[in-house]
Amino acid sequence: MRIIIKDALVVPMTTQDDHFLGSISIENGKIVALNKEKPNFKADKVIDGSSFIALPGLINAHTHASMVLFRNYKDSVADLQSWLDAIWPLEDLLVEKDIYLASLLAITEMIKSGTTCFADFYFMQNETAKAAAKAKIKVNLGLTLFGDAKESEKRIKEQLPQLKKWQVNSKGLIKYDIAPHSVYTCTTETLKIAKEVAQKENCKVHIHVSETVDEVERSYKNFNKSPVAYLNDLGILVKDKAYIAHAVHLDDNDITIIKENKIPVVHNPSSNSKLGCGIAPIAHYKDSLISIALGTDGAASNNNLDLFNEMRLAAMLSGALTKNPMALSPFEILQMATINGAKALGRDNECGTLEVGKDADIILIDTQAIHLTPLNNIYSALVYATKSSDVDTVLCKGEILLENKILKTIDFDKLKRQFLATWEDIKMRQKTEGFK
């Protein structure tokens, strides 16, 4: 299908000065022209962009989609470990249908808030792949590893063939990574296996790193080095082969390793704040030439999957932490949620900016709301004032996923009924387990 978005305020996110009133022409899922003047393009569908900002689709570079099941659930606890202790027994009860419905609900929330690509890791990723394929959204699915080598080899044997199939058959929507959960939940052998899979399959390692002070202290106790130094010594932190979530507590040596190995850091300000983990000093990382992407983490620790919230919070916390409102500009914050996310996920040649030849992953933001009046500086408007409810239209690979705020690939009313029934069923399973 040939689509044209006309008369929009186009914000390609290539350079700060590059924004213009004009049109975007789309053919076979790709951007074929960006025009300031009237384009010579015969379209099957014309979208009037005259009240919209056109922006690259946002990229959520770290989440656990299925954890929407645990949204607002037992989340007022003392620390990360107490919260994990509340969640893990329920996770043991999950079945494939739970993961599928939860993934689809999470994807619905992401589409409605302008996300066109996300990086995920959790259990039964085949179900999350099914949900992404149904919704027609992009995802990097992490084959998730916990525990020892025996457990990891079993998971890889079960899941890798499925994920490979999705990568081949989904026309670029679905890719896979290998995702050892963290240094405190995986044995050294499991981490080595993850490295081998990344090398052999040419995929990336996606891992939680230095999320809490406790994690760093335990790493020193067990390995006599920081999590970053430990992973580096294992050969996991290799350029283009890894991206790390959180990185709240890095020392100077860690920062040098990450900078020299060009490892992207995924900042999750809501989750880190909510769980009391601390504030990652991202302006300092940026000054150290580290690329920073943005993630929501799972809805259990956020409690939503809204990157507009995340951008605003990242900007606010950075100002508060550095006492310097200029430490990160709104344009740089927006880069974190677009092109930097694409780089982390190895997708920057296909998305993250609006450029001819890239996929048409585009969102249209309604600028008519009170809180966007007057618009003035576009980047300030997008980072500080825009709400996810201003997202009107979402395209991924030229496919319309949302139009006039109406979902096109998902029946939300039906999904909500099924999802809530499943959640009740999970809680019932827990009660039954308790009587055994």
User: What minimum distance in Å lies between the beta carbon of 60 and Zn ion?
Assistant: 11
Q: Are 13 and 354 in contact (CB under 8 A)?
A: yes
For Zn ion, give the closer residue by CB, 62 or 397.
Answer: 62
Exactly one of 120, 127, 297, 332 binds Zn ion (CB under 5 A); that residue is 297
**Structure tokens given for 33:** 């022209």
User: What minimum distance in Å lies between the beta carbon of 229 and Zn ion?
Assistant: 21
H or E element that contains 158:
helix 149-169
User: What minimum distance in Å lies between the beta carbon of 65 and Zn ion?
Assistant: 11
Q: What's the one-letter identity of residue 23?
A: S
Ramachandran bin of 298, using left for φ above 0, alpha for ψ from -120 to 50, beta for the remaining angles = beta
User: What minimum distance in Å lies between the beta carbon of 38 and Zn ion?
Assistant: 47
Cα gap 340→95, rounded to integer Å: 34
User: In this structure, what DSSP letter does residue 382 have?
Assistant: I
Residues making up the chain, counted from first to last:
436
User: What minimum distance in Å lies between the beta carbon of 146 and Zn ion?
Assistant: 13
Give the β-pairing of 399-403 and 406-407.
antiparallel
User: In this structure, what DSSP letter does residue 186 have?
Assistant: B
CB atoms closer than 10 angstroms to residue 79: 13
How far separated are the first and last CA of the chain, in Å rounded?
57
For Zn ion, give the closer residue by CB, 21 or 213.
Answer: 213
User: What minimum distance in Å lies between the beta carbon of 32 and Zn ion?
Assistant: 37
User: In this structure, what DSSP letter does residue 15 have?
Assistant: S
User: What minimum distance in Å lies between the beta carbon of 298 and Zn ion?
Assistant: 6
Ramachandran bin of 42, using left for φ above 0, alpha for ψ from -120 to 50, beta for the remaining angles = beta
Segment near Zn ion (CB under 5 A); pick from 275-283, 290-298, 364-372, 411-419: 290-298
Q: Is 332 in the site for Zn ion (CB under 5 A)?
A: no
Residue 12 burial class via C-beta count within 10 angstroms: exposed 0-12, middle 13-18, buried 19 and up: buried
CB atoms closer than 10 angstroms to residue 72: 10
User: What minimum distance in Å lies between the beta carbon of 293 and Zn ion?
Assistant: 13
For Zn ion, give the closer residue by CB, 58 or 382.
Answer: 58
Number of residues that bind Zn ion (CB under 5 A): 1
Q: Taken in order 210, 214, 220, 223, is the CA torsion positive or negative? A: negative
For Zn ion, give the closer residue by CB, 177 or 297.
Answer: 297
Q: Are 264 and 292 in contact (CB under 8 A)?
A: yes
Segment near Zn ion (CB under 5 A); pick from 131-139, 161-169, 292-300, 375-383: 292-300
Segment near Zn ion (CB under 5 A); pick from 79-87, 165-173, 175-183, 296-304: 296-304
Segment near Zn ion (CB under 5 A); pick from 125-133, 161-169, 178-186, 295-303: 295-303
User: What minimum distance in Å lies between the beta carbon of 246 and Zn ion?
Assistant: 7
For Zn ion, give the closer residue by CB, 119 or 351.
Answer: 119
For Zn ion, give the closer residue by CB, 181 or 397.
Answer: 181
Cα gap 412→388, rounded to integer Å: 17
For Zn ion, give the closer residue by CB, 25 or 301.
Answer: 301
Cα gap 128→131, rounded to integer Å: 5
Q: Nearest to Zn ion by Cβ — which residue?
A: 297
User: What minimum distance in Å lies between the beta carbon of 209 and Zn ion?
Assistant: 11
Give the β-pairing of 138-145 and 115-122.
parallel
Q: Which of 250, 325, 324 minimizes the C-alpha distance to 292?
A: 250
For Zn ion, give the closer residue by CB, 102 or 354.
Answer: 102
User: What minimum distance in Å lies between the beta carbon of 164 and Zn ion?
Assistant: 24
For Zn ion, give the closer residue by CB, 297 or 306.
Answer: 297
Cα gap 199→216, rounded to integer Å: 27
For Zn ion, give the closer residue by CB, 98 or 297.
Answer: 297
Segment near Zn ion (CB under 5 A); pick from 155-163, 289-297, 339-347, 351-359: 289-297
For Zn ion, give the closer residue by CB, 297 or 392.
Answer: 297
Segment near Zn ion (CB under 5 A); pick from 97-105, 184-192, 285-293, 294-302: 294-302
Chain center to CA of 210: 18
Segment near Zn ion (CB under 5 A); pick from 277-285, 297-305, 388-396, 425-433: 297-305
User: What minimum distance in Å lies between the beta carbon of 389 and Zn ion?
Assistant: 25
For Zn ion, give the closer residue by CB, 297 or 332.
Answer: 297
Q: Are 364 and 52 in contact (CB under 8 A)?
A: yes
Residue window 31-70: x/- pattern of binding to Zn ion, with contact defined by CB under 5 A: ----------------------------------------
Cα gap 180→209, rounded to integer Å: 10
Which residues of the shown chain bind Zn ion in the complex (CB under 5 A)?
297
